[in-house]
Amino acid sequence: MFFCVLSILPDAKVQKIIDISANLLTLIPIFFVILQKIMERNQSMNFDQLFSSYANELIEHIEQLTESGGSYRKYYRIRSKTKHCLGVENPDPKENLAFVSYTRQFEKLGLNVPKILAENLDENQYLIEDLGDETLHSYLVKYRINKGFDEHLIEIYKSVIKHLLEFQIKAGKDFDYTYAYPKAKFDKESMLWDLNYFKYHFLKLAKISFDEHGLEKDFHAFANFLLTAHSEYFMYRDFQSRNIMLHNEKLYFIDYQGGRRGALQYDLASLLHQAKADIPHSIREQLLDFYIAELRNYQNVDEISFKKQYYGFVFIRILQTLGAYGFRGFYEKKEHFLKSIPFAVDNLEYLFRKFEFLAEMPVLKNVITEIINNQNFRHQAKLSSGNLTVSINSFSFKKGSYPEDLSGNGGGFVFDCRGLPNPGRYDEYKALNGKDEAVKKYLEQYAEVADFIDNCYRVVVGSIQNYIARDFQHLQINFGCTGGQHRSVYCAEKISEIILQEFDMQIVVNHREQK
């Protein structure tokens, strides 16, 4: 309609309208800046009074932090002229009360938790100490890229275990569970909640068939077994690397508001068998023995019974975690949780050999066997160090420009393979491509091909590490040759293999000219 009107106006008026429109377009970026400031101000107003009561200063900057995990809490980093903190908004008043009550008790005992700086629980808000952004999990991801799970990380986990025992035994001795939420004890009902969470949010959403009555019977048998463990300790409930902060070279602990009275083994299972932490099994066993040795500083330990019960709690923890991954992934379509499923299945497979009690729960045993053998849960295995996806393309320089970068980043690395020996010059290779064995053997006989791949990897690995550390989403790598058939295809496949040997991430390989 707009263009129809222009077509019947005199040229001078048309030009004037165009000039006005162009001027208006220049105001759009300014409009969005103003809109952003208004939004920041609205967020700021939510915390103005609370922050002023703490800092005696006005808020100068506030930004909402990226949401992660399964929480519905919102976090804001707030700064004034001389002070800074985190503002927390949580629509669940009972959870807020539990967090505040627990924090105050832990602080009195000298445990490393964030200080509560101010609170307005009537408005579901509170301010806490800003411990930065580095979690133990993010540190693990960066550190393991070059050094693996070495003695340094083992020592960190040993330190974490010592802190865990302080929460469990030192704090648990006279802990006040008045505001525990949703329950004050991890009892049989709680165990059945977790097991049914697994049933309804993983088994049913993943469309795994099972005998409903038989599975319920096995759930009760399993819960009765877990109840044989002593349970008069503080159970943190979600004790894992994402809830451990590294701040000023010290460990701090967060997200304990779901804590309750329970068994020691549960939190240890949560720590050592966290899916995405992917601790090697041999090191898990080493850290389990270390925990038992440290526990003996507090009380006598029947090691055989402790370990048998421990593997039971590992088992229920993994099932509960799969339920969470199913709900957040299958139902809410959050990819991060789907990417964690293969790690949990790997843990389940290892545990299957350890937890002999499953022989007495035949329906549950059959369900676990089906999960382990289902390759659909394996395809996403070890998809991501963080959330990075690497897109690797082969293409022909003669058949168009570089492959389009659909991520919106504007492109990535481009390597020219035309200086390498060309199998396309020989009749026996003309109908083949770089994925065929004959072509691979031809190229691999030349040292310069291996050197080329090695040099390409040395160039891209720095960006991969940097992108992971900064939680970037996408990196593109392109290999081009004359026809996009032999050398570029081979190099794209080869570099993807090398990256997968070094990193756990999603790689998408596309051969543009081979479609």
Residue that wins the pLDDT comparison between 145 and 63:
63
pLDDT over threshold 80, residue 84: yes
pLDDT over threshold 80, residue 15: no
pLDDT over threshold 90, residue 100: yes
Residue type, 143: Y
Banded pLDDT at 433 (limits 50, 70, 90): very high
Among 194-203, 282-291, 335-344, the least confident range:
335-344
Angle of helix 487-502 relative to helix 437-444, nearest 10 degrees, comes to 80
pLDDT over threshold 50, residue 382: no
The predicted-structure confidence for 205-255, as pLDDT tens digits, reads as follows 988 999 999 999 999 999 999 999 999 999 999 999 999 999 999 999 999
Average pLDDT over every residue of 42-58: 82
Banded pLDDT at 331 (limits 50, 70, 90): confident
pLDDT over threshold 80, residue 151: yes
Q: CA of 372: how far to CAs of 1, 208, 352, 462, in Å?
A: 61, 12, 9, 35
CA dist., res. 5 & res. 382, Å (int): 58
Among the listed residues 491, 499, 496, 497, the one whose alpha carbon sits nearest the alpha carbon of residue 385: 499
Average pLDDT over every residue of 119-129: 95
Local structure of 316: helix, strand or coil: helix
Both tokens of 60, joined, read 């100068």
Q: How many CB atoms lie within 10 A of CB 507?
A: 18
> Which residue blocks in 326-361 are alpha helix, DSSP H?
335-354
> How much of the chain exceeds pLDDT 70, in percent?
87
Contacts of 359 (CB under 8 A, 6+ apart): 365
Q: How many CB atoms lie within 10 A of CB 330?
A: 18
Query: Under a CB-based contact definition with an 8 Å cutoff, are residues 198 and 319 in contact?
Result: yes
What are the E-state strand segments in 111-248? Answer: 116-120, 125-128, 233-235, 244-247
Structure confidence at residue 39 (pLDDT): 47
pLDDT over threshold 70, residue 335: no
Contacts of 169 (CB under 8 A, 6+ apart): 233, 234, 298, 299
The predicted-structure confidence for 341-353, as pLDDT tens digits, reads as follows 888 888 888 888 7
Structure confidence at residue 1 (pLDDT): 43
Structure confidence at residue 408 (pLDDT): 74
Say how far residue 12 (Cα) sits from the centre of its chain: 59
Both tokens of 46, joined, read 């939510």
Structure confidence at residue 6 (pLDDT): 43
Among 12-16, 179-183, 494-498, the least confident range:
12-16
pLDDT over threshold 50, residue 43: no
Helix (H) or strand (E) holding 64: strand 61-64
CA dist., res. 398 & res. 420, Å (int): 16
pLDDT over threshold 90, residue 112: yes
Both tokens of 473, joined, read 């989403």
Looking at residue 406, the DSSP 8-state letter turns out to be T
Among 43-52, 98-107, 198-207, 439-448, the least confident range:
43-52
Banded pLDDT at 379 (limits 50, 70, 90): low
CA dist., res. 351 & res. 346, Å (int): 9
pLDDT over threshold 70, residue 28: no
pLDDT over threshold 60, residue 37: no
Task: Give yes or no for a cis peptide into 182 (omega within 30° of 0).
Answer: yes
Residue that wins the pLDDT comparison between 464 and 106:
106
Structure confidence at residue 113 (pLDDT): 98
The predicted-structure confidence for 256-292, as pLDDT tens digits, reads as follows 999 999 999 999 999 999 877 878 888 999 999 999 9
Among 162-176, 326-340, 476-490, the least confident range:
326-340
Structure confidence at residue 481 (pLDDT): 96
Please provide the average confidence, as pLDDT, over all residues in the chain: 86
Structure confidence at residue 233 (pLDDT): 98
Residue that wins the pLDDT comparison between 36 and 136:
136
Banded pLDDT at 309 (limits 50, 70, 90): very high
pLDDT over threshold 80, residue 69: no
Structure confidence at residue 386 (pLDDT): 57
Banded pLDDT at 462 (limits 50, 70, 90): confident
Average pLDDT over every residue of 428-436: 93
Both tokens of 313, joined, read 């709690």
Helix (H) or strand (E) holding 509: strand 506-511
Structure confidence at residue 25 (pLDDT): 47
Residue type, 124: N
Q: CA of 305: how far to CAs of 33, 124, 157, 284, 309, in Å?
A: 63, 43, 23, 18, 6
Structure confidence at residue 11 (pLDDT): 56
Average pLDDT over every residue of 38-45: 47
